[in-house]
Structure 1
Amino acid sequence: MKNNFLVLVFLCLAVSAFAQVKKAAVKDLAFMSGTWVQKSDWGDLEEFWSEPKGESMMSSFRCVKDGKALFYEFVVIELEEGLPVMKMRHFERGNMAWEDKEKPLLFPLVTLKGKLAVFEMKDKSVRLSYRLIAKNKLSVILEEKDKNGQLKKDIFSFTRKLY
């Protein structure tokens, strides 16, 4: 009987840990704000996140390799039906958009726990996790499924750029 109770408690905790966020405010994501940089195999990465304002945040990102910008991202997080939703577009050099002008990539917030925010596309093909691990350290994990459904994971360790 005691073992059954422990199993039930564990299952309840596990379900609640992975439960989808039902309501959150954009201001809860303020820990992402700042200018973040990293040197990686991709190139020199720079990502700027604004402070939350007007139930929104915005971000710009660029990847520079061998002295040339390879691609950019423009991202907004807006509150929709009580839930922050990340809306992303990619651009190549020349400001040429990858996505259709009417269809940005949408990532609703699925987990918010302390200084961890996880955004995931509805089809679960791409997931972005942002975790502030120290005042000046932001971990970003990009998980995406390839054409064969295999999960690929890229981990970025950004440092806050201090001016």
Structure 2
Amino acid sequence: MNFKCLLTAIISFVLIFGNSRAQVTEAKVSQLAFMAGTWTQKHAWGDMEEFWGEPMGDSMISSFRVVKDGKAVFYEFVVIEEQNQVPVFKMRHFNRGSIGWEDKDKPLLFYLVGIGKNKADFELKDKSVHITYQLIAPDKLDVILIEKDKKGHLQKDSFNYTRKK
């Protein structure tokens, strides 16, 4: 094994197992209030807008869209609901025309694996996707997406949002 392959294997191991944590056993949706707001950024994928409503009861909602060259590319709708005293992040994707990607009774379920002041980490049960939300300033929200591609390689995307005024 050459040095480059060894280094890639070590980095992959750290990203997979270093970011993987046990599911949080108790938390409240109210701890995610730092995510609330309308957030925007210009990105290679297009212009992005992510809206998070304030916590209400045991839930939060989010809508997201990407617009490129004046046309919507895709959307996401997220519901965070407390289940067994822990917020669970339930996501669905839609193409233009509101055509869903996921089966109607199977949203993507991300479990809370880390919670702190102005930071939350969510992960799919199979650990193939990890999402971190972190408020780094009153008007700056970073979202880090780490996911395995079709070949099993880890890919990291950073989304650096600014609060829409």
Calculate the TM-score normalised by the size of structure 1: 0.87
Matched-pair contact (CA < 8 Å) for 2:23–2:111: no
1:20 shift after superposition: 3.5
Paired-residue identity, %: 64
Q: Which has the higher contact order (CA 8 A, sep 6+)?
A: 2
After superposing on structure 2, the runs of 4+ consecutive aligned residues of structure 1 that deviate more than 4 Å are: none
Q: Give the secondary-structure state (helix, strand or coil) at the position aligned to 1:120.
A: strand
Determine which of 73, 98, 110 is the counterpart of 2:76: 73
Q: Residues 6-45 of structure 1: matches in 2 within 5 Å?
A: 18-45=21-48
Alignment partner of 1:83 is 2:82: no
RMSD: 1.2
Partner of 2:134: 131
Once the two structures are superposed, residues 103-132 of structure 1 have per-residue CA deviations (whole angstroms, 9 ceiling, x without a partner) of 000001110011110000000001110000
Structure 1 window deviating more from structure 2 (143-152 vs 126-135): it is 143-152
Runs (5+) with no aligned partner, structure 2: 1-17
Give 1 or 2 for the bigger CA radius of gyration: 1
CA distance in 2, matches of 1:114, 1:148: 35
Q: Give the secondary-structure state (helix, strand or coil) at the position aligned to 1:29.
A: helix
1:147 shift after superposition: 1.8
The aligned amino acid for 1:33 is A
Partner of 2:154: 151
